[in-house]
Amino acid sequence: MKTSPLALITGASTGIGKEMARIHAQQQGDLVIVARSESKLNALKLELEQEFGVIVTVIAMDLTAPSAARDLYAETQARNLQVDYLINNAGFGGHGLFHERELAKEQQMMQLNMVTLTELTHLYVQGMISRKFGKVLNVSSTASFIPGPLQAVYYATKAYVTSFSQALSEELKEHYVTVTALCPGPVATEFASTGDLHGVEIFDKAKSAKSVAFVGYSGMVKGELLSFNEPGLKFLLNWITPLLPRKLVLKMSRQSMEKTA
């Protein structure tokens, strides 16, 4: 008999997603872990099942594909997996001037960071509403609160995630379903290398994926609207930045993304 919520985590093979899988397994919760690398997922499955005695289902899938959300949902339905916690963690960024970056990469980023996230949420909240129980955690960023020169599309996608999550939280509260947006600052994950962010100074002081995952998971369980892992950034973005001239904010934002090496 099922006693703990089943969590589906995208981007679970590395970084924040992998650490969230560990946290959920420690709570004796079964998992569906999703990412492109089947070998990494299988290694994590073996680790979690042996250490915590939970059941871990591996689904290897490229979530940038337009049909990915529907395919993933169909797969979990076919396996009779009832998803109680949906953790939309998969996402990526990319550094550089917008007009010089490859458009196809930007489109993939929008597909994964926004479209797949939105489709997965729409598909899985239906069951949560009918059961009057469920939690959605969308991994966003402190980048969602300001425009981001040199990461223009990435910052915009995260602005969407934070806005969407808050609106959905208000809509779903009457159904006893919570939606939380995790808004971390720089995190020490593969994000920096895949997004060509080496040499960007703020990533030299990035927080550990484990610490960020703990904040996000705890915020989800509590039903928080927004979860921040850095109180200083939260204060700056909520109380200082809105009072500054817009052009100054843009200049500061660009400077924070410029490479020093």
Q: pLDDT by residue (tens digit) across 24-69? A: 999 999 999 999 999 999 999 999 999 999 999 999 999 999 999 9
Cβ atoms of residues 191 and 18 within 8 Å: no
Predicted pLDDT of residue 208 = 92
Domain tally, the chain: 1
Task: Say if residue 231's pLDDT is above 80.
Answer: yes
Question: Strand 207-208 and strand 226-227: pairing?
Answer: unpaired
Three-class DSSP category at 36: coil
Task: Say if residue 228's pLDDT is above 60.
Answer: yes
- Average of per-residue pLDDT across 224-230: 94
Q: What is the CATH number of the domain that holds 247?
A: 3.40.50.720
CA distance 212 to 222: 15
| Residues 153-165: tens digit of each pLDDT | 999 999 999 999 9
Three-class DSSP category at 198: coil
Specify if 109 maps to a domain. yes
Specify if 2 maps to a domain. no
Specify if 155 maps to a domain. yes
Specify if 16 maps to a domain. yes
Specify if 1 maps to a domain. no
Q: Which residues are catalytic?
A: 154, 158
Specify if 185 maps to a domain. yes
Q: Print the domain residue range for 193.
A: 7-257
Q: What is the dihedral of CA 120, 64, 228, 238, to 10 degrees?
A: -100
CA distance 198 to 177: 39
pTM of the model: 0.91
- The residues pairing with 177 across neighbouring beta strands, listed in sequence order, are 134
